Amino acid sequence: MQDLPLNIPEGSRKEVMTYLEPFMLNEMNEYLKPVEEMWQPADFLPDASRDTFFEEIRDLQDSAQELPYDLVAVLIGDTITEEALPTYESWLTMVDDVQKNEQGGWMKWVRAWTAEENRHGDLLNKYLYLSGRVDMKQFEISTQYLIKDGFDIGTGADPYRNFIYTSFQEIATNISHRRVAGMAKKSGDKLLAKMCGVIAADEARHAKAYMSFIAQAIKVDANEVLLAFEDMMRKKIVMPAHFLRESGEPQGEAFAHFSDAAQRLEVYTALDYIDILKTLNADWAIDKISALNEKGEKARDYLMKLPDRLTRLADRIKVPEIQYKFKWIYG
As annotated, the active-site residues are 39, 82, 117, 120, 170, 173, 202-203, 206
State which residue has the least CB distance to Fe ion: 120
Q: Which is nearer to Fe ion, 178 or 206 (CB)?
A: 206
For CA atoms 163, 140, 177, 205, give the dihedral sign: negative
203 binds Fe ion (CB under 5 A): yes
- Site for Fe ion, residues 151 to 170, rule: CB under 5 A: 170
- Comparing C-alpha atoms, which of 317, 195, 188 is closest to residue 259? 317
117 binds Fe ion (CB under 5 A): yes
Inter-residue contact 271 to 45 (CB < 8 Å): no
Per-residue binding letters, 45-84, with Fe ion (x by CB under 5 A): -------------------------------------x--
Q: Which is nearer to Fe ion, 97 or 203 (CB)?
A: 203
With vertex at residue 281, the alpha carbon angle to CA 91 and CA 207, rounded to the nearest 5 degrees, is 40
- The residue type at 123: L
In this structure, the chain runs to a length of 331
Helix 294-314 vs helix 190-235: crossing angle, to nearest 10? 130
For CA atoms 202, 200, 41, 113, give the dihedral sign: negative
Q: Which is nearer to Fe ion, 203 or 221 (CB)?
A: 203
- Site for Fe ion, residues 223 to 282, rule: CB under 5 A: none
177 binds Fe ion (CB under 5 A): no
Q: Which is nearer to Fe ion, 21 or 203 (CB)?
A: 203
Using CB under 5 A as the binding criterion, the count of chain residues that bind Fe ion stands at 7
- Comparing C-alpha atoms, which of 248, 247, 245, 243 is closest to residue 137? 247
Q: Which residues bind Fe ion (CB under 5 A)?
A: 82, 117, 120, 170, 173, 203, 206
